[in-house]
């Protein structure tokens, strides 16, 4: 066989091997789209074997094309793969420009070629590389990376079919990365769809929670006002005083629960005030006693004489509730302990820099509320993600409890510190600046309110609330008229010119409270109005219909709160509230 025939046979054999390699890579696109690293390893091994080079690698440019990062480098003589090396355009401007301008860089003498000479002293000579063949990876016509072939030994000339094969390999890289990107986009779209469905479910649950809280507040208004009225009537020396006090306390705790429901539904109020940490934490601990596993023990340890902090009570309790529930879920069905503690500490500037969140806190004295569990702990790579929406390390977790905590902590200008170790549990520290001179709001003692006079019209579609309001106000000296609907209330008002105060429910089936207010204006009646609602005042102001009232009375209310609201407006000292 002549030299020309042998050369042709070698070329045909080489072309067939190249074709088989490309076909085999193409067949496995779907597999490599799921495992890009495996795909890139396969390409560099094929490149080294088929082209016959010592080193083959895949590199990708960053977004602004200032860096070229090695995704996989295969060294044939060692049989090893590595990655991570970065080349910077500022150090190799000639090479980066050549890469952008052509399909391939076929440098037969890489140490002298103008396109690759920049690598000579720091890269080519130390590694013994004499020839380089780099094919650009393109996406929609734009260079995104390169497949590099590096020959060690005597310089070699690259044949046209080898240059073409290098281009085909770069196309395979582009196809694999494109398929992986499409798969990732599809997965993200599916995840977003699931999250959207989850959010929609939560919105539905939120609406349900708001409605339940409103109706429950109506029931509590009847219970609390009637029990309070009985307590006032019987006096301190009656045998029923203690059980009535217990019933009042239980009703007030139930009121806190409805506030939590309103907060969950987005209908709650943010109102910062000085609060006692120990009292607030113990209350939420008692409410959660029935929601956690019986195998999980919750302990409380509070430093004596802690100064108050300034926060929204409902939101503070929501943070503690979410933290305790999250800890209980982390422990799961195993036996474990959640230790809730509070102490006065000192926050240094160095410690501030290590906080996970430090909105509003400054170096100095600090009240630290700690929730520590004996659960499985959180790995370092997941520790920064635990507050991300929908992220959960627990199979049954919702991935929303801790994400809600971040917003509340920011809104209350607190700080957050997280400590965790796999197998040794997790501890969350919430940091508040103390308010030593602040006065915590205390329960008002039962005092005799001033006697009232005049006519009060109670308009509420809940008969029980109408009855208890009549009972309390009549005992206080008022003459009371009742109406079970907005339309009936207008009829009673039109027939009784001596009505001086209207106690008006906001939510009624025929005419709402705001509708009644508008009709009263049309009638030309100028009476003082106390608006009642099981929703929060802020929600009422945002949703009601543009009329002024003299006072707002949230449900549930005690007899003292009812008498105080009506008495204040009757005496002309109520504030004017403009409904949005």
Q: Do 315 and 276 form a contact (C-beta atoms < 8 A)?
A: no
Statement: residue 398 has pLDDT above 50: no
CATH number of 471's domain: 3.40.50.2300
Tell me, yes or no, whether 86 lies in a domain. Answer: yes
- Which pLDDT does position 404 carry in this prediction? 62
pLDDT at 400: 44
Half-sphere exposure of 476 toward its Cβ, with a 13 Å CA cutoff? Answer: 30
Domain CATH code at residue 25: 3.30.450.40
Q: Give the domain-ending residue among 150, 184, 218.
A: 184
Q: In the structure encoding, which two tokens stand for residue 513, read together?
A: 């409270």
Band of pLDDT at residue 536, cut at 50, 70 and 90 = low
- Note the pLDDT of residue 257: 65
Which 3 state secondary structure label does DSSP give 229? helix
Cα–Cα distance measured from residue 2 to residue 28, given in angstroms and rounded to the nearest whole number: 39
Residue 449 has pLDDT above 70, yes or no: no
CA pair distance 256, 45, nearest whole angstrom: 66
Res. 109 pLDDT band, cuts 50 70 90: very high
For residue 142, CA distances in Å to 102, 112, 460 come to 11, 28, 70
Is 448 a member of any domain? no
> Residue 447: CB partners within 8 Å, gap ≥ 6?
560
C-beta of residue 66 within 8 angstroms of C-beta of residue 90:
yes
The pLDDT, as a whole number, for residue 415 is: 84
Is the model's pLDDT at 443 over the cut of 60? Answer: no
Q: Rounded CA gap, 303 and 365, in Å?
A: 14
Confidence (pLDDT) at 399: 42
**pLDDT at residue 444, as a whole number:** 47
Per the rule left: phi > 0, alpha: psi between -120 and 50, beta: everything else, 539 is alpha
Give me the pLDDT at residue 438, please. Answer: 67
Least confident of 125-134, 269-278, 384-393: 384-393
Kindly calculate the radius of gyration of the chain based on its CA atoms and give it in whole angstroms: 37
* CA separation for the pair 250, 534 (Å, rounded): 18
Between residues 257 and 76, which one has the greater pLDDT? 76
State residue 214's pLDDT score: 66
Span 238-285, pLDDT tens digits: 777 777 777 777 777 677 667 656 655 555 555 678 888 888 888 777
Any domain includes 437: no
The pLDDT of residue 392 is above 70:
no
pLDDT at 97 over 50: yes
Domain range for 369: 277-432
394 and 521 housed in the same domain? no
The reply to whether 483 and 369 lie within a common domain is no
Q: What are phi and psi of 211, to 5 degrees?
A: -65, -40
Lowest mean pLDDT among 105-114, 124-133, 203-212, 323-332: 203-212
Residues 48 and 151 placed together within one structural domain of the fold: yes
366 secondary structure, DSSP code: E
What's the confidence (pLDDT) of residue 576? Answer: 45
Of the residues 184, 207, 238, the one at which a domain ends: 184
Q: What is the DSSP letter of 485?
A: S
Full-model pTM: 0.46
Higher pLDDT, 389 or 144: 144
Q: Among residues 399, 432, 465, which one ends one of the domains?
A: 432
43 C-beta neighbours (distance < 10 Å), count: 25
pLDDT of 397 = 47
Structure tokens at 479: 């003459």
- Kindly state whether residue 374 falls inside one of the protein's structural domains: yes
**Judgement on whether residues 378 and 478 belong to the same structural domain of the protein:** no
Q: For residues 120 and 112, give the distance between their C-alpha atoms in angstroms, rounded to a whole number.
A: 8
Sign, CA dihedral 106-169-186-404, equals negative
Structural domain includes residue 336:
yes
Please report, for the domain that includes residue 287, its CATH number.
3.30.565.10
Residue 77 has pLDDT above 70, yes or no: yes
The span from the CA of 224 to the CA of 217, in Å, is 10
Has residue 43 got a pLDDT over 90? yes
Residue 9 lies in a domain: no
Q: Is 390 in the same domain as 473?
A: no
Query: Alpha helices of 235-312 — where are they, by DSSP H?
Result: 241-264, 277-287
Q: Which residues contact 26 (CB under 8 A, 6 or more apart)?
A: 172, 175
Average the pLDDT over 211-240 and give the result.
77
Average pLDDT over residues 424-449: 72
Query: Do 399 and 465 fall within a single domain?
Result: no
Q: Region 366-387: what's the mean pLDDT?
A: 81
Residue 445 pLDDT > 60, yes or no? no
Tokens of 366: 């600090």
413 and 500, same domain (yes or no): no
Confidence of residue 121 (pLDDT cuts 50, 70, 90): very high
Least confident of 163-172, 190-199, 324-333: 190-199
Is residue 187 pLDDT above 80, yes or no?
yes
Contact criterion met (CB below 8 Å) for 166 and 149: yes
Q: How far apart are the first and last CA of the chain?
A: 99
CB-based contact 402:322 (threshold 8 Å): yes
Whether residue 44 is found in the same domain as residue 179: yes
Answer whether residue 81 shows pLDDT above 90: yes
Q: Note the pLDDT of residue 442.
A: 56
Same domain, 339 and 470: no
For the stretch 508-530, pLDDT in tens is 888 888 888 888 888 887 788 88
Position 269 in a domain? no
> Do 297 and 149 fall into the same domain?
no
Say whether 214 sits in a helix, a strand or coil.
helix
Question: b/e string for 80-111 if b means 16 or more Cβ within 10 A?
Answer: eeeeeeebebeebeebbebbeeeebbbbeebb
Q: How confident is the model at residue 76 (pLDDT cuts 50, 70, 90)?
A: very high
Section 529-546 average pLDDT = 67
Number of domains in the chain: 3
How high does pLDDT run on average in the chain? 82
Q: In terms of domains, do 339 and 392 share one?
A: yes
462 and 568, same domain (yes or no): yes
Domain annotation covers residue 78: yes
In the Cβ-directed half-sphere of 335, how many Cα atoms lie within 13 Å?
0
């Amino acid at each position: 066989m002549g030299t020309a025939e042998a050369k042709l046979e070698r070329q045909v054999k080489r072309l067939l091997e190249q074709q088989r390699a490309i076909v085999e890579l193409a067949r496995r696109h779907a597999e490599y789209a799921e495992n890009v690293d495996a795909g890139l390893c396969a390409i560099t091994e094929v490149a080294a074997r088929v082209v016959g080079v010592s080193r083959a690698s895949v590199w990708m440019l960053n977004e602004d094309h200032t860096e070229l990062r090695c995704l996989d480098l295969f060294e044939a003589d060692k049989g090893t793969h590595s990655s991570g090396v970065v080349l910077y355009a500022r150090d190799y401007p000639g090479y980066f420009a050549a890469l952008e301008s052509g399909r391939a860089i076929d440098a037969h003498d890489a140490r002298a070629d103008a396109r690759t000479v920049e690598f000579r002293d720091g890269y080519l000579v130390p590694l013994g590389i004499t020839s380089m063949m780099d094919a650009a990876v393109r996406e929609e016509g734009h260079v995104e990376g390169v497949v590099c072939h590096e020959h060690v030994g005597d310089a070699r000339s690259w044949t046209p079919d080898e240059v073409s094969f290098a281009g085909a390999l770069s196309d395979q890289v582009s196809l694999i990365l494109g398929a992986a990107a499409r798969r990732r986009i599809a997965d993200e779209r599916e995840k977003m769809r699931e999250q959207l469905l989850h959010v929609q479910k939560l919105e539905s649950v939120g609406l349900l929670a708001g409605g339940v809280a409103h109706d429950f507040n109506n029931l509590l208004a009847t219970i609390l006002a009637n029990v309070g009225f009985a307590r006032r009537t019987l006096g301190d020396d009656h045998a029923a005083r203690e059980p009535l006090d217990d019933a009042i306390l239980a009703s007030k705790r139930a009121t806190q629960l409805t506030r939590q429901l309103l907060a969950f539904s987005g209908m709650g109020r943010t109102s910062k005030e000085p609060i006692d940490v120990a009292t607030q934490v113990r209350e939420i601990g008692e409410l959660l006693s029935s929601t956690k596993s019986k195998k999980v023990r919750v302990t409380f340890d509070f430093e004596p004489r802690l100064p108050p902090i300034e926060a929204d009570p409902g939101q503070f309790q929501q943070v503690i509730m979410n933290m305790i529930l999250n800890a209980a879920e982390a422990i799961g069905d195993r036996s474990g302990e959640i230790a809730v503690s509070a102490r006065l500490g000192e926050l240094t500037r160095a410690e501030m820099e290590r906080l996970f969140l430090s909105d509003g806190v400054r170096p100095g004295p600090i009240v630290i509320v700690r929730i520590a569990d004996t659960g499985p702990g959180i790995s370092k790579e997941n520790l920064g993600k635990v507050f991300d929406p929908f992220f959960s390390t627990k199979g049954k977790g919702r991935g929303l409890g801790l994400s809600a905590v971040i917003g509340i902590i920011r809104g209350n200008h607190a700080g957050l510190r997280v400590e965790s170790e796999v197998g040794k549990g997790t501890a969350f520290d919430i940091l508040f600046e103390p308010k030593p001179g602040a006065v915590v709001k205390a329960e008002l003692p039962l005092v005799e309110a001033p006697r009232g006079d005049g006519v009060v019209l109670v308009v509420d579609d809940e008969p029980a609330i109408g009855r208890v309001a009549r009972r309390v106000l009549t005992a206080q000296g008022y003459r009371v008229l009742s109406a079970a609907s907005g339309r009936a209330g207008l009829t009673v008002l039109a027939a009784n010119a001596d009505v001086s105060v209207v106690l008006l429910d906001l939510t009624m089936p025929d005419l709402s409270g705001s509708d009644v207010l508008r009709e009263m204006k049309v009638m030309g009646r100028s009476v003082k109005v106390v608006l009642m609602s099981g929703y929060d005042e802020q929600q009422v102001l945002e949703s009601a219909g543009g009329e002024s009232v003299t006072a707002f009375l949230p449900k549930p209310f005690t007899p003292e709160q009812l008498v105080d609201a009506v008495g204040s407006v009757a005496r002309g000292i109520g504030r004017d509230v403009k409904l949005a």
